[in-house]
Amino acid sequence: MREPWDDDRSERGPSREPLFRAPPVSLWLIAGLGLAYAMQVFLMTPDEVLSAALSSGALREGRWWTLISHIFLHGGLTHLLMNSGAALAFGPAVARHFGVGVRPAAVFLLFFLVCGVAGGLGFVAMHPTGLDPVVGASGAISGLWGGAARLLGRREGLWRVWEGPVRGQIIVVIALNLLIGLAGFAGEAAGVSVRIAWEAHIAGFVAGLFLVGMFARLARASDHPGH
């Protein structure tokens, strides 16, 4: 049975999502990133930051937890503020789509983490023998962007992946990140030079694009106990 949030024939219209009425979980996420950065700056040594950053070498050494820990590290205050702004831009739409309550909030945070892990795996897949570390929530936030892209201009339901404005969002993400790749953007975290990876952005976006419907069903499962 098709659920209303997956019904591509549902009503379409301009989105009304006031910035200052963002779902609390989307604001908690930003606060959590800020707290993690404060801990990085004041409590972690450069060696500890490096050990928590993601790289192919880290995974070969069995440090699989870096797929998550790298999400909460940043290459400076500017990097953190950029990611926080992007999270505020894309997170509320996804959080609203998932619904209100403890379960939808937990699913929203899980969606964020899964997209971040997907972004990290995308980076590692492009650099299977690389040792350069990567940090940042950009891959996870790109997943929020991917989810939000399928909600643009809709009051209910999701666009299909190649329908409506989604195509344009895909083009923008790919073009923007190829430019970042050509520029070779990098940063510094606690004195350690680290890469901020465009590959993770694209992989995270693709994960969010395709997984948002599944996570919406998971978030709303308790609303339809008979299905």
Report pLDDT for 131: 75
Report pLDDT for 184: 61
pLDDT in tens, 168-208: 999 999 998 888 777 665 555 556 555 568 899 999 999 99
pLDDT in tens, 29-62: 999 999 999 999 999 999 999 999 999 999 999 9
Report pLDDT for 155: 79
Please report, rounded to a whole number, the percentage of residues in the chain having pLDDT higher than 70: 82
The pTM is what?
A: 0.85
Unique residue bearing structure tokens 């009425």: 21
- Does the domain at residues 22-223 carry the CATH identifier 1.20.1540.10? yes
pLDDT > 50? residue 103: yes
Q: Domain boundaries in the chain?
A: 22-223
pLDDT in tens, 8-31: 434 444 344 444 589 999 999 999
d(CA 212, CA 208): 6
d(CA 131, CA 54): 9
Instruction: Report the greatest alpha carbon distance in the chain.
Output: 55
How many CB atoms sit inside 10 A of residue 81's CB?
A: 13
pLDDT > 50? residue 1: no
> Which of 135, 13, 141 shows the shortest CA–CA distance to 89?
141
DSSP code for 189: E
> Which of 3, 202, 214, 36 shows the shortest CA–CA distance to 111?
214
The residue with greater pLDDT, 122 or 134, is 122
pLDDT > 80? residue 151: yes
